[in-house]
Copies of this chain bind each other. A is one copy, B any other.
Amino acid sequence: MTADLTIVSTNRSFGGWHKRYRHTSRTLGCDMVFAVFLPPQAETGRVPVLYWLSGLTCTDENFMQKAGAQKLAAELGITIVCPDTSPRGDHVPADPEKHWDFGHGAGFYVDATQEPWARHYRMHDYVTRELPDLIEATFPVTDRRGISGHSMGGHGAIVCALRNPGRYASVSAFAPIASPLSCPWGEKALGHLLGADRSGWKDWDSAALIQSATEKLPLLVDQGDADSFLITQLKPHLLTQAAEAAGYPLTLRMQPGYDHSYYFIASFIDDHLKHHAAALR
């Protein structure tokens, strides 16, 4: 284990281990906590890693506690890594309006260019580079990587895959923000982090990036049709339109009656784990 890594907690789980660690991130300029689920197969060999990016207000804990993913991950032999959703700390600037949809708990997985955000809000760099480097140097894992997430983290997962060809073997999302360019959450966050000039925003917009994708990883998306954010914020039809225009392999499943909660994620996480396992093994 690297000298900088401090263990926060350890739980035996499904024959493997759920562990939380704290480390000092040079990318983000603050201490960060992340969680790892190590399946039983990690005791005897190297296993691939699925990165999970959570949504607004979440930490590393929500997915590990509520998604019910560890049972099948233990069977399939997949390590799961959950980072936090933003830089943290008293010295890290927060939402000037003190709302929950920006700042702490809401980093939007982009690399900020504007002050006062640019020093700390570099979550894309963190989740695609610094964290995988740390994971692969520390744990018995391979460099086969999948990425998935929910809502703001669904946007993050798709953007990470599309911006980094060759870095991920699989990608999926639950109820992703399809286009931060086209919704209030995205307009607020990118307006702060990237500035008022919207021309640069398309580099962080799933619907825009799909249209110029050079690598076409099959993208599985589940979306509840009773999700209260469906119409105003998530707008999955923008993903569908972009994928159809670009010939991108998108499977978007509208799930009748399901909302934006972890009950929705738990109901379909096994399908996503199988989607990733097929590419990661």
Binding site for B on A (CB under 8 A): 11-15, 18, 65-66, 68, 70-71, 224, 226, 255-259, 261-264, 266-267, 270
Copies of this chain: 2
Establish whether residues B12 and A258, one from each chain, have CB atoms under 8 Å apart when the complex forms: yes
In the complex, chain B residues whose CB is within 8 Å of the CB of A66: 65-66
| Max count, chain B CB within 10 A of own CB: residue among A11, A15, A18, A257 | A11
CB nearest neighbor in B for A226? B12
In the complex, chain B residues whose CB is within 8 Å of the CB of A71: 68, 266-267, 270
In the complex, chain B residues whose CB is within 8 Å of the CB of A68: 68, 70-71, 266
Establish whether residues A266 and B13, one from each chain, have CB atoms under 8 Å apart when the complex forms: yes
A128 → chain B, closest Cβ, in Å? 28
CB nearest neighbor in B for A256? B12
In the complex, chain B residues whose CB is within 8 Å of the CB of A264: 11-13
A221 → chain B, closest Cβ, in Å? 17
A68 to B66 alpha-carbon distance, docked (Å): 7
In the complex, chain B residues whose CB is within 8 Å of the CB of A270: 71
CB nearest neighbor in B for A62? B65
Establish whether residues A257 and B12, one from each chain, have CB atoms under 8 Å apart when the complex forms: yes
Choose among B11, B15, B65, B70 the residue that contacts A259 (Cβ–Cβ < 8 A). B11
Interface of A is mostly: mixed
A140 → chain B, closest Cβ, in Å? 18
Residue contacts A-B, CB under 8 angstroms, 11 given: A12-B255, A12-B256, A12-B257, A12-B258, A12-B259, A12-B263, A65-B262, A66-B66, A68-B68, A68-B70, A71-B270
A122 to B255 alpha-carbon distance, docked (Å): 42
In the complex, chain B residues whose CB is within 8 Å of the CB of A14: 266-267
Establish whether residues B261 and A11, one from each chain, have CB atoms under 8 Å apart when the complex forms: yes
In the complex, chain B residues whose CB is within 8 Å of the CB of A70: 68, 263, 266-267
A112 → chain B, closest Cβ, in Å? 33
A237 to B185 alpha-carbon distance, docked (Å): 55
Kindly list the 3 A-B residue pairs having the minimum CB-CB distance in the complex, ordered from nearest.
A68-B68, A12-B257, A13-B263
A123 → chain B, closest Cβ, in Å? 26
Knowing that A15-B267, A65-B65 touch, tell me 4 more A-B residue pairs with CB under 8 angstroms: A12-B259, A12-B263, A13-B264, A68-B70
Choose among B12, B15, B65, B267 the residue that contacts A13 (Cβ–Cβ < 8 A). B267
A267 to B11 alpha-carbon distance, docked (Å): 11
A263 to B65 alpha-carbon distance, docked (Å): 8
